[in-house]
Structure formats: structure tokens, C-alpha cells
Amino acid sequence: MKHLTILILLAGICFGTVSTTTVKTSPTVGNGSTVAFVFSFSYTATSEIVVTSRVTATGLDTVQTETTHYSVSAASDTGGTVTFVTAPASTVTITISRTTPQTQSNDIDAGSSVSLTSLEVSHDKAMRLIQELQEENDRTPKFPITDTAATTGDYPSTVTRAGKSAVYDSEGNPAVTGDAPPGLSEFSFINDSTNYADLDTAIADIGSTKTTLYVTGNTTVTANLSVPSTLTLRFHRQGALVIGAGITATINSPIEAGRHQIFTGAGTAAFGAGTVDAIKPEWFGFLPEINTDAQAILNLDAFKKIVVAASAAKIPIEFGTGTYYPEYGTGRIITLLDDLAMIGQGKHVTTIKWREVGGAGSTNGLMRDDGNGIDNLLFKDIAFDNTDVTPGASWVIGTVIWVGVTGSGDAVESDNITIDNCKFISRSRSMLITKTDNVLITETDCVVASAVTGIPGIVVMNGSTNVRIIGNRVEDQTADAAVACINVQASNMLISDNVVGSSIDSTAILVEGEDNILITSNIIDLSNATNVNCNGIIIDGCDVVKIVGNLIIGHASPTGPDGIGIGIGSRRNNTELTIENNQIINFWTSIRIGNSTAVTFGDHYVSHNVLVDAGENAFLLDVDGSVTYTNAESSFLNNEVRGTNNRAHFNMPTDAGDLVIDGNVGFQIRLNTLSSDHSTIIGTNTGGAPTYRETV
């Protein structure tokens, strides 16, 4: 026993020990000149040394090959040197590690002698394997030792977890749920477009394998093709499809791309339905924040392609932040198509502003349909600016949105048009929508830019139906007395909660020739107008109309002869009319019924209105023509007249036959509260002796 002990001690002295726990070096950056890299851990064969090169920019690791790329000094207990054939560049890092073979070559039989050398070697090898396993274990996620004994690190079986996302359950144990992130577990490999002559070749080579094609440079499309749904196209900023003239590339796959151009060439890029959530204008070269003639021309051409692609696939166009400048010139317009949606990031951050190139144009409408009607059109969260467009002799030149045509040339009816949370900074008319069913214009601003003469406004005309104009702002109109801020010829209509301001010699809301209309809760403020003859609400030739709960403020110093708060029937008959709970301030005439043309009225109910400081008349029935009330009751009840400016509370016609009350059918002026210092009724020709019972 003593002899054996001595031999073991001698072995400890004569043979090497594993004196360090290090099994790899830290990554070392190359410099293009150094070839020798030193390491300090033991190894028994050069084949145990693993040299890994990593490209710093991409993180790509490559295991180097002994002899081909490097050599290693002889085995040693204290470390060695790796010498490269070619010095690693400064763009890579070098890591040296050890991988000990997991084998045991000693064969010890019962009763045989044991070599101290082989015993030492076996112990050292075992220790090196333990160190390498520990190093690998240190890079592995682990549960803390303080977790309960019931915690398990086992995941469900492959059948259960296939195509699922890894999660932890309520006990903190591994589990799976739902679907994996899109395509994460399904991609078998990734390809680079530069590996192929063109996109046609790439599609043919990849086939139906579900994968991603990185488009890292210009990739040509030389024949009509369809990108399959299994091939995701991921575009780097320098990558684009160059589509030849007369060629169509139909994208039926997902696209991953930022706001940069990915389609070039004279050909056509088309999309399968539902392939992308939205089309970015930049993909086609419609670029923001470049305000030059050259870019404006490119932008308009790109805009046209985008509209065609988006309409065909029913995919919305999503504008980013900033200002986009398309060209405007004669014949250079955007043709609107069915199933088209243009969406921005907000009317204060996304703007489309037309740039006039080559002088004034003469086209009616910057964006308009082709005369064959249009269905399902949406504009949302965008500002439109046409202040650089010369309007020409007619205010329709340069109208931003034009649907349908006017007069006898009306085209096929359109349906379902929405303008939501937009802004029109206008020099000519903001919008003109004709012969359209189901129109919604909401939360939209129509204004004029400073120092620009313009005509903003909302125009829906020519037999449109089911129209809602809600919560808009139309302000600062500065020209053209012939137009109104909101001008509508539509039936089944709601005009509500709008703010209309400062017009010059024009009308805030004008409704003509249609039925079933509610105008309510609007604020009309014309107090800052430079002209005293502004009108609030004018209704002409309409049946079944309610004007309820509006605040209408006129010029601070009305002088006449015009300037009307609410005017009814200037040229055409009007029946079934309710004017109720409105407050009308500072107009030459607060409420005027009739004008110079013979008209027939019936069923008028004017009640609970507050009329303040009329310059001439609180109520005016007719001027020079004749008004016939027939076949229904009409009354002026429970109104309140305030102020000292007005000459008459009720100004009735004085000429024979001007006011005819057919058969005394119940025309009443009664229970009104009037200021005491002015005439209640002027005029003696009251036809069929109406009932007057005033409370003064």
C-alpha cells in the first residue's frame, strides 16, 4: 500500500493537470495584419481546437478549417497558438474554443495493472468534458434553484407544439399556445435575389417551397408572372423589381418593405386581393417632401399606377407623414376608380399638395371619375392642398375631388362615398359630388390658406340621396358670391354639427330642390365677414325640411337690402317646413319667406326661435312676388324677438294679391314675445284674414 501511494504522488508531479476552467477565448477583432492568436487552455490534439469567424455587421458565424485557413501549435497543457494563413480583416472577430471528443479508449480488465499515465489522461479528459458542458450550460436559459420542486422544464410533444408559440402556463412551466408568428416555423430557408438572373428564374427555382426572397438589388422581371403566396418578398432599401414595358408582375405573396421605392420600370405591378394590408405610395416612387417639377411629374405618374393597383385588389393606399407633391396640368389628373381608399396618418401630418407644372391647367377636377360612376370611395386622415393651382375663369377648374358631371351630361350614378377627417386647403372648390347615393362627409375642414383667394366648400348635387354632412368646418371663403359654403341638392339628408364661418357675399348653407332634409345643431358665424350681405341658411324648392337648433350669427352692422338668417322659397315652392329652436343674430332679415317669384307654401311651422337685432325685419313674408298658403295649416308661434334695430316684427305684403291664404286654412301668428317699441305687423293685404293673437 505504501508503494502504491508513492506512485500516485509521483504521478501528480510527473504529469500535467487541468489547472484552468477556461475553454474558449473572448472574441478578438482582426486587423488585417495579425495572423497569430494565442489561447491559454489545455488540449491533447489540434483537432480539438475550433476556430470560429464572425462577420461583425451581420452576425454570420463561419467555422474555419484547419490547414485550409489556419494551423495550431502542438498539444499542450498550458495553451497554444492559432496561426492563420491570411490575417483576419477588421470586419470579423475570431473566437477559439475547445471541443473534446466524447469517447473513452482505455480498456481496464479485472486483475490487470493500471498505467498511471493512462489513468491521468482519462481523468484530465473527463475534467475537460465537464468544463465544456458547463460552458455550454452557462449559455442556456435555466430555472432558478429557488423554484419549487414541481417546476418542470419539459415542453409538450412535437405533435402538440407544432406550429405553436412557446409560453409559460400559470404554474410557470413551459407550454404552447395559439399559432406561431406568421411563417416563423414554416420557412425552410432564405434566398437572395442576387443569386438569380431575374425574378422569373428565382420563382422557377424556388417553386412552392415556403420561403423568403431577399430583394437586395435591382431584380428584373422579363415576362408576365405571378409571385406565389408561398414566397415572401422582403425588400432592402436598395432592392427593387424592374418591370419591363408591357409586362405585368402580379404579387400574390406578402411584401415586407419600408417607405421606399420597390417597383421601377415601365411595366405594371399588380396585387392579389388581401396580399398586403396597404399599399405605400413610396413603393411606386410617389415620394414626399421633394417639391420640384421633375419629381411632381414622376409623382403623378406613380399616383396613377397606385390607384389602378389599389382599386383592382381592393387594398387601401396608406400615405405616410409629410407632403406629397403630384403634378397638375391640363389633362394631368387622377382618374378615380371603384373600391378605392386613400388613408393618411392624420389631416395635420399628411398632405397631398398639387404643383402646377408648365402653366395653368384647364381641367375640371384634380381627382375625378371617368364619367361612368364610381362606387366605394374613401378619403380619410389626409389634407388636400390646391392653393398652387390657378383656378381659371371658373371655380370648378382645379376642384380637388370631382365625382360625376353636372347638368344634362350626368353620368351613371355613383354610390358610397366617404370623406372622413380630411382637410381641404383650397383655392378653387374643395369637392363636387353629383348624382351619388350614400355620401358621408364628416370631421373635415374646408379652409383657405392665408393670402390666397379661394372658394372652399362642400358641394353635393344633382339628385344625390342619403347624404350626411356632419361635424365639418368650412371657413374663410374669400371670393365668388354665386356659391355657398355648403351647397346641396340631395334628398334624405342630414346637415349637422358643422361650423361655417366668415364668408363674403355668399351663403353658408344652401339646399335646393330636394326632400326629407334635417339641418340641426350647426354654428354659422359670419360676424367677421367683410361684406354685410351674407346669408345663413337658404332653402329653395324643398319639401319636408326641418331646421332645428342652429346658431346663426350675421354681420355686426347689417345694412341690407340682403343678408338673411334663414330664407325659404326664393324661387320654388316649399311645403312641410319646420323652423324651430334656432337663434338668429344680426341679419337684415332674420327669417324671410318668399322673394320676387310666385310660390306656393303649405304646412310651415315656425316656432320657439330667438331673433336678435334684425336690421330691418324679424320676419319678412315676400317682397314683390306673391305667396300663396294653401291646403295646410301654417303658423308662427312662441317666437321671441329681441333688440332695437329692427323696423318690423312681421313685414307682410302691401300689394293686392301678394299674400293669399287659401280658404283661411289656419294661418296663425300668435303667442310670440316681441320687443315693444316696433310695429308688430306692417302690411294690410292679408288675404283670407289670418288669426293674429300676439303676446307683446
Residue 16 is predicted with a pLDDT of 59
Q: Is the pLDDT of residue 28 over 90?
A: yes
User: Residue 658 carries which DSSP code?
Assistant: S
Omega before residue 456 within 30° of 0, cis:
no
Residue 412 is predicted with a pLDDT of 72
Calculate mean pLDDT across residues 628-657.
67
Q: Is the pLDDT of residue 14 over 60?
A: no
pLDDT band at 160 (very low <50, low <70, confident <90, very high): confident
Residue 644 is predicted with a pLDDT of 58
Q: Is the pLDDT of residue 185 over 70?
A: no
Distance CA 264, CA 266 (A): 7
Q: Is the pLDDT of residue 217 over 60?
A: yes
Q: Is the pLDDT of residue 608 over 80?
A: yes
Q: Is the pLDDT of residue 302 over 60?
A: yes
- The Cα-based distances of 616 to 224, 505, 571, 587 in angstroms read 74, 18, 22, 8
| Lowest-confidence pick of 145-149, 228-232, 398-402 | 145-149
Q: Which residue has the higher pLDDT, 327 or 1?
A: 327
Residues in CB range of 542: below 8 A, 6 or more apart: 511, 512, 513, 514, 515, 517, 574, 577
Calculate mean pLDDT across residues 160-169.
72
Residue 695 is predicted with a pLDDT of 39
Q: Where are the domains of the chain?
A: 38-99, 172-276
Residue 637 is predicted with a pLDDT of 86
Residue 360 is predicted with a pLDDT of 65
Does the pTM surpass 0.75? The reply is: no
Residue 177 is predicted with a pLDDT of 66
- If you search the block for the grid coordinates 474558449, which residue do you land on? 24
Q: Is the pLDDT of residue 694 over 50?
A: no
* Phi, psi (rounded to 5 degrees) for 251: -95, 110
| Lowest-confidence pick of 114-118, 338-342, 361-365, 500-504 | 361-365
Calculate mean pLDDT across residues 115-137.
76
Question: What's the one-letter identity of residue 489?
Answer: Q
Residue 137 is predicted with a pLDDT of 76
Distance CA 49, CA 121 (A): 18
Residue 647 is predicted with a pLDDT of 63
Distance CA 260, CA 280 (A): 9
Calculate mean pLDDT across residues 73-88.
94
CA 328 from chain center: how many Å? Answer: 23
pLDDT band at 654 (very low <50, low <70, confident <90, very high): low
pLDDT band at 189 (very low <50, low <70, confident <90, very high): very low
Q: pLDDT of 555-583, one tens digit each? A: 766 666 668 899 887 555 567 889 999 99
Q: pLDDT of 428-476, one tens digit each? A: 778 889 889 999 999 999 887 655 555 668 888 887 899 999 999 998 6
Q: Which residue has the higher pLDDT, 275 or 180?
A: 275
Residue 36 is predicted with a pLDDT of 96
Q: Is the pLDDT of residue 690 over 60?
A: no
Distance CA 563, CA 558 (A): 7
Please choose, from the candidates 269, 275, 285, the residue with its C-alpha nearest in 3D space to the C-alpha of residue 225.
Answer: 269
Q: pLDDT of 519-546, one tens digit each? A: 999 999 988 776 666 889 998 878 889 9
pLDDT band at 294 (very low <50, low <70, confident <90, very high): very high
Grid coordinates representing 689 are 284674414
Residue 408 is predicted with a pLDDT of 43
Residue 8 is predicted with a pLDDT of 38
CA 451 from chain center: how many Å? Answer: 30
Residue 684 is predicted with a pLDDT of 45
Half-sphere exposure of 321 (CA within 13 A, CB side): 2
* Mean pLDDT for the chain overall: 81
Calculate mean pLDDT across residues 48-68.
92
- The DSSP bridge pattern shows strands 610-612 and 640-642 to be parallel
Q: Is the pLDDT of residue 692 over 50?
A: no
Q: pLDDT of 237-287, one tens digit each? A: 889 999 999 999 999 999 999 999 999 999 999 999 989 999 999 999 999
Please choose, from the candidates 119, 93, 85, the residue with its C-alpha nearest in 3D space to the C-alpha of residue 8.
Answer: 119
Residue 454 is predicted with a pLDDT of 58
Q: Is the pLDDT of residue 38 over 50?
A: yes
Residue 148 is predicted with a pLDDT of 73
Asked if residue 210 lies in contact with residue 187, where contact means CB atoms within 8 angstroms, the answer is: yes
- The Cα-based distances of 222 to 171, 195, 245, 247, 251 in angstroms read 57, 16, 9, 7, 15
pLDDT band at 150 (very low <50, low <70, confident <90, very high): low
Q: Is the pLDDT of residue 188 over 50?
A: no
Please choose, from the candidates 440, 405, 404, the residue with its C-alpha nearest in 3D space to the C-alpha of residue 422.
Answer: 440
Q: Which residue has the higher pLDDT, 542 or 177?
A: 542
Provide the sign of the torsion angle of the four alpha carbons 652, 656, 658, 659, taken in this order: positive
